[in-house]
Amino acid sequence: MSSFGERSWAAAVRERAVRALPPEQLLPDRQPAYVASWIYVFGVLSLSSLAVLIASGCILALKGPAWWHFTSVGHFFNSVHLWSVELFFFFMVVHLWGKYWMAAWRGGRARVWMTGAIIFLVAIPCALTGYVSQQNFDSQWISTQAKDAMNASGIGAFFNLLNFGQMYSYHVLLLPAAVVALVIAHVLLVRRHGVVPPLERSELLARPGADEQLDRHDGESGA
């Protein structure tokens, strides 16, 4: 137990967190001029569809399979959940293409790129466990077909697609928690390092004295 006047572990954690994530960078009120392009919109579109996905999934989890299969409101939320995951992957793929072609790992953003790529990889089994948790013929077909791929890869003993309880646990808790945690880390890293500039701009930044010039231009343009 620390006495008064000693530096507590909580203060050390707080100072470290503030150093890693300066508050003035977490919610910026201005963005660089180069983000005025549709290609920069797909990250937030992915986030929006993820929010709808989680909200509709919570409602489905509250009511259960009988509700989502046999009532019109249940059908509606089942469809919202399906189409939000379709849009989540659609937007995420376009976001991934955009960031790949602008080499978004530049300027010390390797962790931003890696967390994004891992989110994509974790989201795939998250969706697969959802397809096999539907409790209908579709889920039976998918699970019996996909189990062979799992067995061939050697993880069938730990990840059994025919085990509804296990798949449902993965789908509503473990994998969504991983996706959400990674998304939070990804967004915080984007805030920390800033939105990646287009390639031409980074070439300009490589010139001596270009930082001051570009900062002045950003200020003039209101970015």
List residues binding another protein (CB under 8 A): 33, 36-39, 41-42, 71-72, 86, 90, 93-94, 97-98, 217, 220-223
Contacts of residue 219, defined as CB under 8 A and 6 or more positions apart, other chains included, come to: none
Cβ 41 to another protein shortest distance, Å:
7
Half-sphere exposure of 223 (CA within 13 A, CB side): 17
Half-sphere exposure of 132 (CA within 13 A, CB side): 25
Residue number, 42 or 77, with CB nearest to another protein: 42
Cβ 3 to another protein shortest distance, Å:
56
Q: What is the DSSP letter of 171?
A: I
Residue number, 37 or 145, with CB nearest to another protein: 37
Residue number, 16 or 75, with CB nearest to another protein: 75
Token digits of residue 129: 């466990």
Q: How far apart are CA 171 and CA 123, in angstroms?
A: 10
Cβ 142 to another protein shortest distance, Å:
14
Q: What amino acid occupies position 30?
A: R
CB 147 within 8 A of CB 160: yes
Residue number, 90 or 164, with CB nearest to another protein: 90
Cβ 214 to another protein shortest distance, Å:
9
Taken in order 183, 29, 33, 199, the sign of the CA dihedral is: negative
Residue number, 178 or 204, with CB nearest to another protein: 204
Cβ 154 to another protein shortest distance, Å:
23
Contacts of residue 1, defined as CB under 8 A and 6 or more positions apart, other chains included, come to: none
